Amino acid sequence: MKMPIPDAGVIDRRLAIAEALRGIVPADNVIVDEDARRAYETDALTAYRTMPLVVVLPETVEQVAAVLKYCHANGIKVVPRGAGTSLSGGALPLADGVLLAMAKFNRVLDVDYPNRCARVQPGVTNLAITKAVEGDGFYYAPDPSSQIACTIGGNVAENSGGVHCLKYGLTTNNVLGVELVTIDGEIVRLGGKHLDSEAYDLLGLIVGSEGLLGVVTEVTVRLLPKPETARALLIGFPSSEAGGDCVAKTIAAGIIPGGMEMMDKPAIIAAEDFVHADYPMDCEALLIVELDGPEAEVDHLIDRVGDIAKACGATSMRQSSSDEERALFWAGRKAAFPAVGRLSPDYLCMDGTIPRNRLPEVLTRMTEMSNRYGLRVANVFHAGDGNLHPLIMYDANNPGELERAENFGADILKLCVEVGGVLTGEHGVGVEKRDLMPEMFTEEDLKQQQRVKCVFDPDALLNPGKVFPQLHRCAELGRMHIHKGQIPFPDLPRF
Amino acid sequence: MTDTYRPDTEDHLVDLIAWANSERKPLAVHGAKTKHRLGRPMSGRTGLDLTAFAGVSLYEPEELVLAAGPATPLAEIEALLRENRQQLAFDPPDLSGLLGAPNSGTIGGVIACNLSGSRRIKDGAARDHFLGFDAVSGRAQKVKSGGRVMKNVTGYDLSKVLCGSYGTLAAMTAMTVKVLPAPEKTRTVLVFGLDPSQAVAALASGLNGPFEVSGAAWIPQSIADRSDTDHIRQAGGSVTALRIEGFGPSVEYRCAKLRDLLSPLGETEELHSHNSANFWKSIRDVEPFRSDDRVVWKISVAPTDAPTILSALSHLKAVEAYLDWAGGLIWLAVDAPRQGAHEPVRDAVNTVGGHATLIRAGDTLRNTISVFHPQPAPLAAITKRLKDSFDPNGVLNPGRMSEGV
Ligand SMILES: Cc1cc2nc3c(=O)[nH]c(=O)nc-3n(C[C@H](O)[C@H](O)[C@H](O)COP(=O)(O)OP(=O)(O)OC[C@H]3O[C@@H](n4cnc5c(N)ncnc54)[C@H](O)[C@@H]3O)c2cc1C
Q: How far apart are CA B119 and CA B328, in angstroms?
A: 12
Q: Going from the N-terminus, what domains does chain B have, and what CATH number goes with each?
A: 49-181 (3.30.465.10), 185-284 (3.30.70.2190), 287-377 (3.30.70.100)
Residue A197: what pLDDT? Answer: 84
Question: pLDDT tens, A361-401?
Answer: 999 999 999 999 999 999 999 999 999 999 999 999 999 99
Report the amino acid identity of residue A475: A
Q: Is the pLDDT of residue A485 over 60?
A: no
Over residues A186-190, mean pLDDT: 97
Closest Cβ opposite residue B127 in set A201, A442, A482: A201
> Cα-atom radius of gyration of chain B, to the nearest Å?
21
For residue A137, the distance in angstroms to the closest alpha carbon of chain B comes to 9
Alpha helices (runs of H) in B86-208, residue ranges in sequence order: 96-99, 107-112, 120-123, 158-162, 196-207
Closest Cβ opposite residue A355 in set B149, B158, B163: B149
Residue A198: what pLDDT? Answer: 81
Provide the pLDDT confidence category of residue A452 given band limits of 50, 70 and 90. Answer: very high
Q: How far apart are CA B114 and CA A459, in angstroms?
A: 32
CA distances from A299 to A292, A319, B210, B255 (A): 10, 11, 15, 17
DSSP state of A398: S
Which of A284, A414, A273 lies closest to A352, judged by CA? A414
Over residues B126-148, mean pLDDT: 97
Q: Using alpha carbons only, what angle is made at residue A392 by residues A391 and A397, rounded to the nearest 5 degrees?
A: 135
Q: How far apart are CA B58 and CA B65, in angstroms?
A: 8
Q: Going from the N-terminus, what domains does chain A have, and what CATH number goes with each?
A: 8-101 (3.30.43.10), 108-225 (3.30.465.10), 229-338 (3.30.70.2190), 344-436 (3.30.70.2740)
Q: How far apart are CA A122 and CA A338, in angstroms?
A: 26
Q: How far apart are CA A321 and CA A338, in angstroms?
A: 27
Over residues A222-238, mean pLDDT: 97
Residue A427: what pLDDT? Answer: 97
For B99-127, b/e burial (b = at least 16 CB within 10 A) is bebeebbbbbbbbbbbbbbbbbbbbbbbb
Q: Is A370 on the interface with B (CB under 8 A)?
A: no
Q: Is B231 on the interface with A (CB under 8 A)?
A: no
For residue B18, the tally of other CB atoms under 10 A from its CB is 20
Tell if the CB–CB gap between A429 and B7 is shorter than 8 Å: no
Q: How far apart are CA A78 and CA A212, in angstroms?
A: 9
Q: How far apart are CA A79 and CA A94, in angstroms?
A: 7
Residue A492: what pLDDT? Answer: 61
Closest residue (by CA) to atom 6 of ligand 1?
A: A144
Helix (H) or strand (E) run with residue A29 in it:
none
Q: Name chain A contacts of B127, Cβ cutoff 8 Å.
A: 197, 201, 204
Q: Is A421 on the interface with B (CB under 8 A)?
A: yes
**Is the Cβ atom of A351 under 6 angstroms away from ligand 1?**
no
Q: Which residues contact A214 (CB under 8 A, 6 or more apart)?
A: A180, A181, A182, A183, A188, A206, A456, A457, A462
Closest residue (by CA) to atom 35 of ligand 1?
A: A211
Residue A3: what pLDDT? Answer: 87
Q: How far apart are CA B106 and CA B96, in angstroms?
A: 11
- A19: β partners: none
Question: pLDDT tens, A473-484?
Answer: 999 999 887 665
Over residues A207-211, mean pLDDT: 98
For residue B56, the tally of other CB atoms under 10 A from its CB is 15
Residue B216: what pLDDT? Answer: 98
Residue A494: what pLDDT? Answer: 58
Q: Is the pLDDT of residue A486 over 90?
A: no
Q: Is the pLDDT of residue A407 over 70?
A: yes
Q: Is the pLDDT of residue B4 over 60?
A: yes
Residue A490: what pLDDT? Answer: 53
Quote the mean pLDDT of chain A.
Answer: 95
ipTM (interface predicted TM)? 0.97
Question: pLDDT tens, B290-324?
Answer: 999 999 999 999 999 999 999 999 999 999 999 99
Q: How far apart are CA B232 and CA B241, in angstroms?
A: 10
- pLDDT above 70 covers what percent of chain B? 100
Over residues A206-230, mean pLDDT: 97
Q: Give Cα A168 distance to the centre of its chain.
A: 16
Alpha helices (runs of H) in A321-473, residue ranges in sequence order: 323-334, 336-343, 359-373, 401-418, 437-440, 443-456
Q: Is A21 on the interface with B (CB under 8 A)?
A: no
Over residues A244-263, mean pLDDT: 95
Which of A438, A469, A470, A466 lies closest to A50, judged by CA? A466
Q: Name chain A contacts of B160, Cβ cutoff 8 Å.
A: 172, 201, 203-205, 207
Task: Tell me which residues of chain B, numbers 14 to 73, contact chain A at a CB-CB cutoff of 8 Å.
Answer: 15-16, 18-19, 21-22, 52, 60-65
- A111: β partners: A118
Q: How far apart are CA B221 and CA B117, in angstroms?
A: 22
Provide the pLDDT confidence category of residue A471 given band limits of 50, 70 and 90. Answer: confident
Provide the pLDDT confidence category of residue A2 given band limits of 50, 70 and 90. Answer: confident
Residue A1: what pLDDT? Answer: 77
Quote the mean pLDDT of chain B.
Answer: 96
Question: pLDDT tens, B59-75?
Answer: 999 999 999 999 999 99
Tell if the CB–CB gap between B302 and A301 is shorter than 8 Å: no
**Is the Cβ atom of A172 under 6 angstroms away from ligand 1?**
no
Q: Which 3 state secondary structure label does DSSP give A386?
A: coil
Q: Name chain B contacts of A205, Cβ cutoff 8 Å.
A: 156-158, 160-161
Q: How far apart are CA A404 and CA A347, in angstroms?
A: 12
Closest Cβ opposite residue B304 in set A115, A255, A299: A115
> Per the confidence metrics, is the pTM higher than 0.95?
yes
Q: Is the pLDDT of residue B192 over 80?
A: yes
Provide the pLDDT confidence category of residue A491 given band limits of 50, 70 and 90. Answer: low
